């Protein structure tokens, strides 16, 4: 399933959660990690059963960001989160295949305990350290639960002593590596890091458009106002789809006549260009089917 937007919301802020679950975002991330103070984590965790109840087959899908496996909070987080209504676990600071294997095993036991289908709970690793970035392919192939990765610039810049600012070369490199590593692991395109400046709709839109050009499928969001912008940027427009159909029709006609490369309005078209047009059409078609089904 294509995900254009995932919105973080603190699990213990009822008003924020209610607003998020009624919005147009593709997925809500109930956050137990950075958005919740240490003393409040047990109370936030205790809210999950009620928040997840009845969410099966509803939109937006609901994920839970648990605390990192290196903390004492991860296990009780998983126990509270894995139940009917959960779409997936967002796992921060993933650095190795072994960490993925641990999370996978724990989730499998909890799925069985809750009567859920095996591998029904997706696992979404956040790549946000130097160690994680250098092990992208082993992380991405460590579990069938992993369908996509995400990149987290905040902790990545802290870990690497970089600055987190627009145009930062190191963050751009990390984002690009996440796209390449996802492809090498055979995963769906990843979701891009959050944009930390609020409010800055123009800056956020510009970064979304850059992320789409880089190969990301969508964007992690910090505020509901960012969702509409990201949804629009990561959804092919009618004009883009019409142009893709025109290009593909012209190319297929040429192939039928024995030519595998043509010029269309001065633009060179060959198999890779035609395949990109085909993917764009398929992305729009699959999104329409998913929306109709829901």
Is 65 annotated as a binding-site member? yes
Beta strands of 16-114 (E only): which ranges? 27-31, 61-65, 88-91
Query: Do the annotations mark residue 200 as ligand-binding?
Result: no
The answer to whether 155 and 131 are in contact (CB under 8 A) is no
CA–CA dist 71, 8 (Å, integer): 20
Query: Hey, what are 76's tokens?
Result: 């009780």
- Sequence-ordered list of residues with C-beta below 8 angstroms from that of 224, at least 6 positions apart, any chain: 7, 19, 20, 23, 25
> Using CA atoms, how far apart are residues 220 and 18, in angstroms rounded to an integer?
18
Phi (first) and psi of residue 146, to 5 degrees: -80, 115
Closest-CA residue to 189 (of 283, 104, 86, 291): 283
Across the chain, the runs of DSSP E, i.e. the strands, are 5-10, 27-31, 61-65, 88-91, 122-127, 150-151, 191-192, 218-221, 262-264, 267-269
Is 39 labelled a binding residue? no
Contacts 24+ apart (CB under 8 A), 233-238: 233/205, 233/208, 233/209, 234/4, 234/5, 234/208, 235/4, 235/284, 235/287, 236/280, 236/283, 236/284
Helices (H), 195-270: 201-214, 224-233, 238-256
Contact 159, 129 (CB under 8 A): yes
Degrees, nearest 5: CA angle 148-151-154: 155
* Annotated binding-site positions for Mg(2+): 128, 155
* Annotated binding-site positions for substrate: 65, 128
* Annotated binding-site positions: 65, 128, 155
């Amino acid at each position: 399933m294509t995900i254009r937007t995932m919105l973080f919301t603190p699990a213990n802020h009822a008003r924020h959660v209610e607003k998020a679950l009624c919005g147009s975002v593709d997925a809500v991330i109930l956050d137990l990690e950075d958005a919740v103070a240490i003393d409040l984590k047990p109370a936030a965790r205790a809210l999950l059963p009620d928040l997840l109840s009845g969410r099966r087959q509803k939109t937006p899908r609901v994920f839970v960001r648990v605390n990192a496996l290196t903390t004492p909070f991860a296990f009780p987080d998983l126990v509270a989160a894995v139940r009917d209504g959960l779409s997936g676990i967002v796992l921060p600071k993933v650095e190795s295949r072994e960490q993925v294997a641990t999370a996978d095993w724990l989730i499998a036991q909890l799925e069985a305990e809750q009567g859920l289908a095996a591998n029904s709970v997706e696992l979404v690793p956040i790549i946000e350290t130097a160690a994680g970035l250098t092990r992208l392919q082993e992380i991405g192939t460590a579990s069938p639960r992993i369908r996509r990765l995400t990149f987290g610039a905040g902790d990545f810049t802290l870990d690497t002593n970089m600055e987190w600012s627009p145009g930062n070369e190191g963050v751009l490199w990390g984002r690009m590596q996440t796209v390449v590593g996802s492809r090498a692991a055979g995963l769906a395109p990843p979701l891009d890091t959050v944009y930390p400046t609020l409010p800055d709709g123009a800056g956020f839109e510009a970064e979304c458009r850059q992320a789409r050009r880089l190969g990301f499928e969508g964007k992690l969001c910090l505020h509901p106002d960012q969702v509409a912008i990201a949804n629009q940027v990561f959804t092919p427009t009618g004009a883009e789809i019409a142009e893709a159909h025109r290009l593909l029709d012209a190319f297929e006609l040429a192939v039928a006549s024995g030519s595998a490369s043509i010029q269309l309005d001065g633009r060179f078209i060959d198999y890779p260009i035609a395949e990109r047009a085909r993917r764009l059409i398929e992305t729009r078609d699959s999104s329409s089917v998913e929306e109709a089904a829901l």
